[in-house]
C-alpha cells in the first residue's frame, strides 16, 4: 500500500515481487490500497465529528502559521475532469536569501486534500488545521490567489488571518496588461513588468505606485486596442479591490510570506504526480481514498497515521466476521410448500414413517430384530420361514 501510494498499481506489484519474491496481482494491490485510503478517510471523519461535538481549544501553534489553499484538476472515468482542493499548512521561518536579505518560508508542511465542493472541503479540512494549531497560533497568514472560496475558507477557520494575495499571481495580471499593450515589443513589456514587480515587492508605497503606472499604460498605442483596454482594466480592478492584500513590503518587514508556492507545490506533489499519469482515469469514489494516503506520505507522516489505519481495518474485518457468524447462527425458516391443494379440499400432510431404531446386535450376538432371526438359514442351505405351521 505504501508503494502504490507513490507509483501506479502495476508498478507497485512488480516492485513488491522483486524485493519480497511475493507475487500479488495489480488488482489486489489496488483493492488493498483503496481500502486503506478509505479507512484513513473514515478515521479523519470520526475525528472531525469529535471536534464538532466537543469543540476543544486545540494544541499550541507556532508564532506565525501559513495557510494556503488551491485546486488541481484530475481526469475521471468517462472523460470528465474534477478539481481536487488542497490546503497546505506550515510553520513560517525567516531565512537569509541569496541577495543578502531575508525571506519567509513555510516549514514542517502538512496537507489536506479532497475531491469536494468548497463548503464540504472547508468543513472537513478542520481536522488538519486543528492539529496544526490554527486556533492558538499568534498570527495566521492566509496566502492565497483571488478565488472567493479561499477567502471564505479563511473566514471560517481564522477570520483575523492576515490576507495576502500570492505575489506571482499579482504579477500575472501586470504581465497580461503589458503584453496586450506592447504585443509587438516583448522586450519593452518585460522591462515594464520587471520594474513594476520590483516596486510592488520592495517599495513602501509600491502598491499605489504600481496601480498608478497600470492606469497610465499607453493602451491607445496598442495594435489591438480593445484587448489592451480590457486587460488593463481587468488588472486595475482586480488589484485595486485587493489593495490591502498587496502591501508586500510591509508584509515582508513583519516576517510574513508573500507567495503560495507551498500549496502550488502540493498540487503537483500530492495530487498531480500520482493522479495525472499517462492514461490514468479515476472513478470519482476512489479519488479521496488515494489523495488521503498521498497527504500523509508526502508529509512524511506515514508512521504516525498507519496505526490508526490498521486499527480501523481490523475493527472493520472483525465486524464483518461477527455479522457473518450471526447470519449463520440465525434460525432457518421452513421452506414454503411447493404444491397447491385443490379448491375446497384440505391439504393432507405426507405421512412420515420413522425408521426402525431397534438394535440389531447386542454383546456381539444378533437380537430378535436382526434379519438372521427373522429369516434364518437352516442346514443344507435351505431357507425356512420361522413359525410356519406344518401341513
User: What domain count does the chain have?
Assistant: 3
* Residue 253 forms part of a structural domain: no
pLDDT value, residue 56? 94
**65 & 138 share domain:** yes
* Residue 209 forms part of a structural domain: yes
From the list 263, 288, 262, the residue with the least C-alpha distance to 33 is: 288
* Residue 208 forms part of a structural domain: yes
Query: Residue 95's domain spans which residues?
Result: 59-166+258-300
Name the grid cell of 304: 504516525
**103 & 243 share domain:** no
**155 & 263 share domain:** yes
**41 & 116 share domain:** no
* Residue pLDDT tens, the chain, 391 long: 899 999 999 999 999 999 999 999 999 999 999 999 999 999 999 999 999 999 999 999 999 999 999 999 999 999 999 999 999 999 999 988 777 778 899 999 999 999 999 999 999 999 999 999 999 999 999 999 989 999 999 999 999 999 999 999 999 999 999 999 998 788 999 999 999 999 999 999 999 999 999 999 999 999 999 999 999 999 999 999 999 999 999 999 999 999 999 999 999 999 999 999 989 999 999 999 999 999 999 999 999 999 999 999 999 999 999 999 998 888 766 666 555 555 555 556 556 555 556 777 777 777 777 776 666 555 444 444 444 555 4
* Residue 112 forms part of a structural domain: yes
Name the grid cell of 89: 499548512
Name the grid cell of 117: 465542493
Question: In sequence order, what are the beta bridge partners of 102?
Answer: 96
Distance in angstroms (rounded) separating the CA atoms of residues 37 and 45 = 12
Torsion angle of C-alpha atoms 3, 39, 68, 134, degrees rounded to 10: -130
**153 & 223 share domain:** no
**Which of 228, 248, 268 marks a domain boundary?**
248
Output DSSP code: residue 383. B
**236 & 262 share domain:** no
pLDDT value, residue 385? 47
* Residue 127 forms part of a structural domain: yes
DSSP states along 258-320: ---HHHHHHIIIIIIHHHS-TT--B-HHHHHHHHHHHHHHHTT-HHHHHHHHHHHHHHHHHHH
pTM of the model as a whole: 0.81
**89 & 102 share domain:** yes
**33 & 66 share domain:** no
**134 & 274 share domain:** yes
**92 & 184 share domain:** no
Three-state DSSP at 112 gives strand
Three-state DSSP at 358 gives coil
Output DSSP code: residue 63. S
Torsion angle of C-alpha atoms 97, 297, 137, 263, degrees rounded to 10: 60
Amino acid at each position: 500500500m505504501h508503494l502504490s501510494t507513490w507509483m501506479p498499481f502495476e508498478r507497485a506489484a512488480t516492485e513488491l515481487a522483486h524485493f519480497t519474491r511475493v507475487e500479488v496481482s495489480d488488482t489486489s494491490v489496488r483493492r488493498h490500497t483503496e481500502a486503506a485510503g478509505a479507512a484513513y478517510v473514515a478515521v479523519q471523519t470520526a475525528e472531525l465529528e469529535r471536534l464538532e461535538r466537543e469543540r476543544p481549544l486545540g494544541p499550541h501553534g507556532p508564532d506565525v502559521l501559513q495557510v494556503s489553499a488551491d485546486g488541481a484538476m484530475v481526469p475521471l472515468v468517462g472523460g470528465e475532469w474534477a478539481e481536487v482542493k488542497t490546503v497546505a499548512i506550515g510553520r513560517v521561518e525567516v531565512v537569509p536569501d541569496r541577495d543578502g536579505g531575508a525571506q519567509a518560508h513555510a516549514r514542517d508542511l502538512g496537507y489536506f486534500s479532497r475531491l469536494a465542493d468548497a463548503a464540504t472541503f472547508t468543513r472537513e479540512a478542520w481536522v488538519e488545521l486543528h492539529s496544526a494549531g490554527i486556533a492558538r497560533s499568534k498570527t495566521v497568514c492566509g496566502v492565497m490567489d483571488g478565488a472567493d472560496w479561499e477567502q471564505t475558507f479563511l473566514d471560517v477557520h481564522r477570520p483575523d488571518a492576515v490576507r495576502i494575495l500570492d505575489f506571482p499571481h499579482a504579477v500575472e495580471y501586470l504581465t497580461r496588461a503589458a503584453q496586450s499593450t506592447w504585443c509587438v515589443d516583448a522586450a519593452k513589456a518585460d522591462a515594464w513588468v520587471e520594474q513594476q514587480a520590483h516596486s510592488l515587492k520592495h517599495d513602501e508605497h509600491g502598491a499605489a505606485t504600481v496601480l498608478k503606472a497600470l492606469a497610465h499604460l499607453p493602451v491607445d498605442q496598442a495594435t489591438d486596442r480593445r484587448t489592451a483596454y480590457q486587460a488593463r482594466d481587468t488588472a486595475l480592478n482586480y488589484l485595486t479591490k485587493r489593495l490591502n492584500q498587496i502591501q508586500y513590503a510591509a508584509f515582508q518587514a513583519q516576517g510574513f510570506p508573500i507567495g503560495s508556492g507551498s500549496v502550488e507545490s502540493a498540487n503537483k506533489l500530492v495530487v498531480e504526480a500520482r493522479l495525472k499519469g499517462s492514461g490514468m482515469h479515476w472513478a470519482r469514489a476512489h479519488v479521496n481514498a488515494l489523495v488521503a494516503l498521498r497527504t500523509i506520505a508526502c508529509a512524511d507522516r506515514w508512521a504516525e497515521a498507519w496505526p490508526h489505519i490498521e486499527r480501523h481495518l481490523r475493527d472493520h474485518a472483525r465486524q464483518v466476521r461477527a455479522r457473518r457468524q450471526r447470519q449463520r447462527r440465525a434460525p432457518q425458516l421452513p421452506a414454503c410448500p411447493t404444491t397447491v391443494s385443490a379448491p375446497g379440499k384440505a391439504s393432507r400432510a405426507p405421512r412420515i414413517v420413522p425408521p426402525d431404531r431397534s438394535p440389531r446386535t447386542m454383546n456381539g450376538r444378533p437380537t430378535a430384530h436382526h434379519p438372521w432371526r427373522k429369516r434364518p438359514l437352516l442346514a443344507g442351505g435351505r431357507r425356512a420361514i420361522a413359525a410356519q405351521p406344518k401341513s
